[in-house]
Amino acid sequence: MTSETLSYSAFENHRLLASGPLEHVALKIQRRMKTNPSATVLLFSDSTGKQMDLDLRGTESELMDRLKVFISAEDPSPAPTGPGRPKLGVVAREVSLLPRHWEWLATQSGGASATLRRLIEDARKNPSEKERIRIAQERTHKFMTALAGDLPHYEEALRALYAGDKKSFQQRIREWPEDLRDHVKKLAMGAWK
Protein backbone atom coordinates (compact mmCIF):
# COMPACT_ATOMS: atom_id res chain seq x y z
CA MET A 1 0.00 0.00 0.00
CA THR A 2 1.62 3.26 -1.07
CA SER A 3 0.91 6.83 -0.15
CA GLU A 4 -0.71 7.15 -3.58
CA THR A 5 -3.39 4.60 -2.65
CA LEU A 6 -6.63 6.43 -2.03
CA SER A 7 -8.64 3.71 -0.37
CA TYR A 8 -10.86 3.89 2.67
CA SER A 9 -12.60 1.31 4.85
CA ALA A 10 -15.69 1.54 7.02
CA PHE A 11 -16.35 -0.81 9.92
CA GLU A 12 -19.51 -1.35 11.89
CA ASN A 13 -18.18 -2.78 15.12
CA HIS A 14 -15.73 -5.43 13.83
CA ARG A 15 -17.52 -6.05 10.52
CA LEU A 16 -16.29 -4.47 7.28
CA LEU A 17 -19.13 -2.43 5.81
CA ALA A 18 -17.32 -1.11 2.73
CA SER A 19 -13.86 -0.57 1.31
CA GLY A 20 -12.63 1.38 -1.71
CA PRO A 21 -12.76 4.97 -3.01
CA LEU A 22 -14.08 7.53 -0.53
CA GLU A 23 -17.22 8.27 -2.55
CA HIS A 24 -18.23 4.58 -2.58
CA VAL A 25 -17.53 4.06 1.12
CA ALA A 26 -19.26 7.31 2.19
CA LEU A 27 -22.43 6.37 0.30
CA LYS A 28 -22.47 2.94 1.97
CA ILE A 29 -22.08 4.57 5.39
CA GLN A 30 -24.82 7.12 4.66
CA ARG A 31 -27.21 4.39 3.51
CA ARG A 32 -26.42 2.27 6.57
CA MET A 33 -27.00 5.20 8.91
CA LYS A 34 -30.36 5.91 7.27
CA THR A 35 -31.50 2.28 7.74
CA ASN A 36 -30.09 2.08 11.29
CA PRO A 37 -29.47 5.52 12.85
CA SER A 38 -28.07 3.95 16.02
CA ALA A 39 -25.36 2.03 14.12
CA THR A 40 -21.77 2.84 15.03
CA VAL A 41 -19.74 3.04 11.85
CA LEU A 42 -16.10 4.15 11.80
CA LEU A 43 -14.26 5.31 8.67
CA PHE A 44 -10.51 4.85 8.19
CA SER A 45 -7.92 5.90 5.64
CA ASP A 46 -6.19 2.73 4.48
CA SER A 47 -2.98 4.61 3.69
CA THR A 48 -2.61 6.17 7.17
CA GLY A 49 -4.82 4.05 9.43
CA LYS A 50 -6.35 7.27 10.79
CA GLN A 51 -9.99 7.41 11.73
CA MET A 52 -11.89 10.03 9.76
CA ASP A 53 -15.10 11.99 10.24
CA LEU A 54 -17.46 12.92 7.43
CA ASP A 55 -20.63 14.99 7.36
CA LEU A 56 -23.18 12.43 6.13
CA ARG A 57 -26.27 14.66 6.34
CA GLY A 58 -28.58 15.38 3.44
CA THR A 59 -29.05 13.65 0.12
CA GLU A 60 -26.54 11.51 -1.73
CA SER A 61 -25.97 14.40 -4.12
CA GLU A 62 -25.26 16.80 -1.24
CA LEU A 63 -22.86 14.26 0.26
CA MET A 64 -21.01 13.94 -3.06
CA ASP A 65 -20.70 17.74 -3.29
CA ARG A 66 -19.19 17.89 0.22
CA LEU A 67 -16.83 15.02 -0.62
CA LYS A 68 -15.48 16.93 -3.62
CA VAL A 69 -14.48 19.73 -1.26
CA PHE A 70 -13.08 17.25 1.28
CA ILE A 71 -11.08 15.35 -1.34
CA SER A 72 -9.60 18.56 -2.74
CA ALA A 73 -8.57 19.51 0.82
CA GLU A 74 -6.93 16.06 1.27
CA ASP A 75 -5.17 16.28 -2.10
CA PRO A 76 -1.41 16.71 -1.70
CA SER A 77 -1.52 19.57 -4.21
CA PRO A 78 -4.46 21.71 -3.03
CA ALA A 79 -5.77 24.71 -4.91
CA PRO A 80 -3.28 27.50 -4.44
CA THR A 81 -3.69 30.68 -2.48
CA GLY A 82 -1.23 33.51 -2.22
CA PRO A 83 2.22 33.64 -3.83
CA GLY A 84 3.75 30.82 -5.78
CA ARG A 85 3.00 29.18 -9.10
CA PRO A 86 -0.81 28.93 -9.06
CA LYS A 87 -1.18 26.38 -11.88
CA LEU A 88 1.02 23.91 -9.96
CA GLY A 89 -0.59 24.57 -6.59
CA VAL A 90 2.71 25.74 -5.11
CA VAL A 91 2.51 27.19 -1.61
CA ALA A 92 5.47 29.13 -0.20
CA ARG A 93 6.71 27.95 3.20
CA GLU A 94 9.91 28.28 5.16
CA VAL A 95 12.63 25.62 4.95
CA SER A 96 15.57 25.64 7.37
CA LEU A 97 18.78 24.07 6.11
CA LEU A 98 22.44 24.22 7.03
CA PRO A 99 24.72 26.32 4.82
CA ARG A 100 26.28 23.21 3.22
CA HIS A 101 22.77 22.07 2.19
CA TRP A 102 22.03 25.43 0.56
CA GLU A 103 25.39 25.29 -1.23
CA TRP A 104 24.64 21.82 -2.60
CA LEU A 105 21.12 22.85 -3.66
CA ALA A 106 22.55 25.87 -5.49
CA THR A 107 24.61 23.56 -7.72
CA GLN A 108 21.59 21.47 -8.82
CA SER A 109 19.79 22.11 -12.07
CA GLY A 110 16.47 23.85 -11.70
CA GLY A 111 17.35 25.47 -8.40
CA ALA A 112 16.58 24.62 -4.81
CA SER A 113 12.79 24.31 -5.10
CA ALA A 114 12.87 22.01 -8.12
CA THR A 115 15.56 19.84 -6.51
CA LEU A 116 13.62 19.54 -3.26
CA ARG A 117 10.45 18.61 -5.16
CA ARG A 118 12.36 15.92 -7.09
CA LEU A 119 13.88 14.50 -3.90
CA ILE A 120 10.48 14.40 -2.19
CA GLU A 121 8.77 12.73 -5.15
CA ASP A 122 11.55 10.13 -5.38
CA ALA A 123 11.23 9.40 -1.65
CA ARG A 124 7.44 9.09 -1.93
CA LYS A 125 7.61 6.76 -4.94
CA ASN A 126 10.53 4.67 -3.68
CA PRO A 127 10.56 4.65 0.11
CA SER A 128 13.43 2.87 1.77
CA GLU A 129 12.67 -0.49 3.35
CA LYS A 130 12.97 1.12 6.79
CA GLU A 131 10.48 3.86 5.84
CA ARG A 132 8.06 1.34 4.25
CA ILE A 133 8.11 -0.74 7.44
CA ARG A 134 7.61 2.33 9.66
CA ILE A 135 4.63 3.53 7.60
CA ALA A 136 2.98 0.08 7.68
CA GLN A 137 3.55 -0.23 11.43
CA GLU A 138 2.08 3.20 12.13
CA ARG A 139 -1.05 2.74 10.01
CA THR A 140 -1.64 -0.73 11.48
CA HIS A 141 -1.12 0.55 15.02
CA LYS A 142 -3.58 3.45 14.54
CA PHE A 143 -6.25 1.17 13.11
CA MET A 144 -5.73 -1.53 15.75
CA THR A 145 -5.91 1.02 18.55
CA ALA A 146 -9.28 2.28 17.32
CA LEU A 147 -10.93 -1.09 16.68
CA ALA A 148 -8.99 -3.84 18.41
CA GLY A 149 -7.75 -2.31 21.66
CA ASP A 150 -10.17 -4.39 23.70
CA LEU A 151 -9.52 -7.68 21.90
CA PRO A 152 -7.45 -10.54 23.33
CA HIS A 153 -3.70 -10.36 22.68
CA TYR A 154 -3.89 -6.78 21.38
CA GLU A 155 -0.73 -5.66 23.20
CA GLU A 156 1.16 -8.81 22.27
CA ALA A 157 0.15 -8.30 18.62
CA LEU A 158 1.47 -4.72 18.72
CA ARG A 159 4.77 -5.88 20.22
CA ALA A 160 5.09 -8.51 17.47
CA LEU A 161 4.27 -5.87 14.82
CA TYR A 162 7.06 -3.57 16.02
CA ALA A 163 9.46 -6.49 16.47
CA GLY A 164 8.88 -7.49 12.84
CA ASP A 165 7.68 -10.95 13.94
CA LYS A 166 5.02 -11.76 11.35
CA LYS A 167 4.38 -15.29 12.62
CA SER A 168 3.77 -14.16 16.20
CA PHE A 169 1.66 -11.22 14.99
CA GLN A 170 -0.61 -13.51 12.99
CA GLN A 171 -0.89 -15.96 15.89
CA ARG A 172 -1.97 -13.15 18.23
CA ILE A 173 -4.75 -11.94 15.92
CA ARG A 174 -5.99 -15.31 14.65
CA GLU A 175 -9.01 -15.38 16.99
CA TRP A 176 -10.11 -11.83 16.14
CA PRO A 177 -13.28 -11.31 14.06
CA GLU A 178 -12.56 -12.28 10.45
CA ASP A 179 -13.13 -8.89 8.76
CA LEU A 180 -11.05 -7.09 11.34
CA ARG A 181 -8.26 -9.69 11.26
CA ASP A 182 -8.11 -9.64 7.45
CA HIS A 183 -7.96 -5.84 7.35
CA VAL A 184 -5.20 -5.70 9.97
CA LYS A 185 -3.18 -8.22 7.93
CA LYS A 186 -3.69 -6.09 4.81
CA LEU A 187 -2.55 -2.91 6.58
CA ALA A 188 0.49 -4.68 8.07
CA MET A 189 1.57 -6.18 4.74
CA GLY A 190 4.49 -3.75 4.33
CA ALA A 191 5.67 -4.15 7.93
CA TRP A 192 7.69 -7.29 7.33
CA LYS A 193 11.22 -7.60 5.94
Q: What is the pLDDT of residues 119-148, one digit of tens each?
A: 888 888 888 999 999 999 999 999 999 999
Q: What pLDDT does 137 receive?
A: 98
The DSSP annotation for 73-126 comes to HHSSSPPP-SSS-GGGT---------HHHHHHHHTSTTHHHHHHHHHHHHHHHS
Q: What pLDDT does 14 receive?
A: 97
Q: Which residues of the chain have pLDDT under 70?
A: 1-5, 72-90
Q: What pLDDT does 4 receive?
A: 45
- C-alpha span between 120 and 54 (Å, rounded): 30
Q: What is the pLDDT of residues 75-97, one digit of tens each?
A: 554 444 555 555 556 677 888 88
